[in-house]
Chain A
Amino acid sequence: MGQIIANAVILGCTYALMAIGLNMVYGLLKILHVAHAGIYTLGAYVGLLIFRTLTKSLWPGLVCAMVAAGFAGVAIFHILYKPVLRRPRYIALIASAGIFAASQELFRLIAGPYPYAFPAQFVFPAIRTKFFYLTSTQMLILSFTVVSFIVLYFLISRTKIGLAWQACMQDMDIAGTSGINVNRVITLNFFLGSALAGAAGILVALYRNSVFPTMGALVSYKAFVVVVLGGLGSMPGAVVAAMLLALVESLLSAAPWFEFPRDALAFLTMTIILLFRPKGLFKR
């Protein structure tokens, strides 16, 4: 049982890393950023590239993945979302979906349709207790997630730009008139959120030892569920929702009589909860 919970926590971390980025974008721009999954995949491929060409060690790949993903995210904002901010939201959604579909094809055309193994090397402690065992990869994921959130928390609540961020989340127009450089806030937002997605991509590639063009689809929809459940725009909500979802999934999957696919289960849970609490579990 302890092992099931331990595994679930790690799974939850992967969801949380994706959900944070989505949350950031949604909180500011109210756009369902489907292309986020493309950035996740980009992170994995960049990591793979570094692994195969430069060095077998994980860390340079991780840094490059995050940076590349960050820039990609910002680019997507400028090219795709900025022109349509004043228009109905489904426009951005469809554009995002189009770019995501195109990105999967791009990865296939450049890197080929086959999955690649990703045995990058790194040194990290593992934990073995009587109740559960976490491999070094799992510990890496856990630590990275925790550190990211601590950093983000400080950024948002203790720095000036974090304050500007919060203002923009409440009302972008008024924040703009108050002298806040809204563009800069949004750019930073996209950069950080996308960097986290890129990190999630490379970490999951490491965890599952495979990189392939359609890997983004699997996790992105789940991340949306997490974002909604946690209450759109709420960071701690997203983390809690991610863990909760992972836990529910894992416990039910382990039960011998239960046989429903995880994704469907996640959405079903979301729908039911939304019926009772339309604003999500944690009100903003």
Chain B
Amino acid sequence: MLGYILTIANFACIYALAILGLNILTGYAKQVSLGHAAIFALGAYSQALLVTKAGIPFFASLILASLISSIIGMLFGLPSLRVSHDHLVLTTIGLNFIVVAIVEYFDFFGGALGIVGLGTPQIFGHLLATREYLILVVGLLILALIFCWFFSRTWAKLLMEAIGEDELAAAVLGINVARIKLLAFAVSSALTGLAGALWAQYIGSVFPKNFGLELSITMLSMLVFGGMGTIRGALFGALFLYCLPEALRFIQNYRMLLNGVLLAAMVIWQPSGILGKGGLLDWQNIVRKRKAQ
């Protein structure tokens, strides 16, 4: 049973990392992205290609994959400079299809046969089985959390939130909207891409069909459920919504149905999510309300 739990923990943390990334773009800068599965795929495929075709060792590949995702993610952000909010959502939806199509049809990316054989990762010759991998993943997650925490105290985050709140007003105030938006895309993609790379390495293979629109929808719902715009919300949403289907396994047949209904219900009645600002369990808010009484 332990191996099973550790495996779930591994994936849950990987998704948490990915959602931390999504939070920066969609939570702070309010650029709603339904295409983050494509970013995740960027990281996964980069890792796969670097390890199998270029023979670059595991850890170095992780960093490179994250970097590549960041750069390409920034490119994906270019349309956001021109189109309005709603069009942006559609463009991000399109990203899923475009990225999947590219890796499916060009043999360099493995085509429909995917890329297999990433092998067991090793650091300095030491093999990483599930238990050790979990330590690595948790370590990276903690690093990411620290990074996000510091990031949330920078000017950049404030600027992003300003843009998210009212783009026109921000521009009028002299904020270089384009640069901040691209920065948001870059940082967001770096984190989510890293998660993708970790995912690919852990499974050992990547296939195009793993990264479709459904994954993007799942990722966005994790963020919204947990509480958009907050780090704790991103973390909680990912961990909870990843583990929930596993816990609900005893009603296997109805699992996905419940998932969808739960999502819709949650988002209507508690849109700030569980831990977001003003959310269901936002204790800061609750404490503040109590004090005010």
**A residues touching B (Cβ–Cβ < 8 Å)?**
26, 30, 32, 80, 83-84, 87-91, 93-103, 105-106, 109, 221, 224-225, 228, 232, 259-261, 263-268, 270-271, 274-275, 278
Contacts and interface: CB of A to CB of B under 8 A. Distances in A.
Contacts of B221: 94, 97-98
A110 to B, nearest CB: 11
A101 B259 contact: yes
A97 B256 CA distance: 13
A95 B97 contact: no
B267 A271 contact: no
Contacts of B105: 259-261
Contacts of B253: 109
Given A98-B263, A264-B102, A270-B94, 8 more contacts: A32-B86, A84-B271, A87-B271, A101-B260, A260-B105, A264-B100, A270-B91, A271-B79
Given A95-B267, A271-B79, A278-B83, A105 B91 contact: no
Given A95-B263, A270-B94, A275 B257 contact: no
Interface in B64-102: 78-79, 82-87, 89-91, 93-95, 97-98, 100-102
Contacts of A99: 260-261, 264
30 contacts: A30-B86, A80-B264, A87-B271, A91-B267, A91-B268, A93-B32, A93-B34, A94-B267, A95-B263, A97-B263, A98-B259, A98-B260, A98-B262, A98-B267, A99-B260, A101-B263, A105-B256, A109-B253, A228-B90, A232-B86, A259-B105, A261-B104, A263-B97, A264-B97, A264-B98, A271-B91, A275-B83, A278-B82, A278-B83, A278-B84
Interface string B247-291: 000000110110111111001110100000000000000000000
A221 B100 CA distance: 15
Contacts of B184: none
B138 interface: no
A82 to B, nearest CB: 10
B226 to A, nearest CB: 13
B47 to A, nearest CB: 23
B268 A105 contact: no
Nearest to A103: B260
Q: Which 7 pairs from chain A and chain B are nearest by CB?
A: A267-B94, A102-B260, A264-B101, A98-B263, A98-B264, A101-B260, A105-B257
B268 A228 contact: no
Nearest to B264: A98
A5 B78 CA distance: 34
Interface residues of B, number: 44
B90 A106 contact: no
B177 interface: no
B254 A109 contact: yes
Interface string B195-238: 00000000000000000011001001100100000000000000
A224 B93 contact: yes
Contact of B90 (A32, A91, A109, A260): A32
Nearest to A81: B268
B85 A274 contact: no
Interface of B: 30, 32, 34, 78-79, 82-87, 89-91, 93-95, 97-98, 100-102, 104-105, 213-214, 217, 220-221, 224, 253-254, 256-257, 259-264, 267-269, 271
A89 B256 CA distance: 24
Contacts of B94: 225, 264, 266-268, 270-271
Contacts of A260: 101, 105
A217 to B, nearest CB: 8
Contacts of A270: 90-91, 94
Nearest to A265: B101
Name the residue among B30, B224, B254, B264 with the largest chain A CB count within 10 angstroms: B264
B205 to A, nearest CB: 22
Nearest to B81: A275
Contacts of B263: 94-95, 97-98, 101
A275 B101 contact: no
A275 B98 contact: no
Given A267-B97, A270-B94, A89 B86 contact: yes
Given A87-B271, A102-B260, A274 B79 contact: yes
A89 B104 CA distance: 32
A226 to B, nearest CB: 11
Nearest to A270: B94
Nearest to B213: A221
Contacts of B30: 88
Contact of A84 (B100, B217, B256, B268): B268
Contacts of A95: 263-264, 267-268
Given A94-B221, A102-B260, A275-B79, A267 B93 contact: yes
A98 B221 CA distance: 9
A245 to B, nearest CB: 13
A101 to B, nearest CB: 4
A93 B221 CA distance: 10
Given A95-B263, A95-B268, A278-B84, A101 B93 contact: no
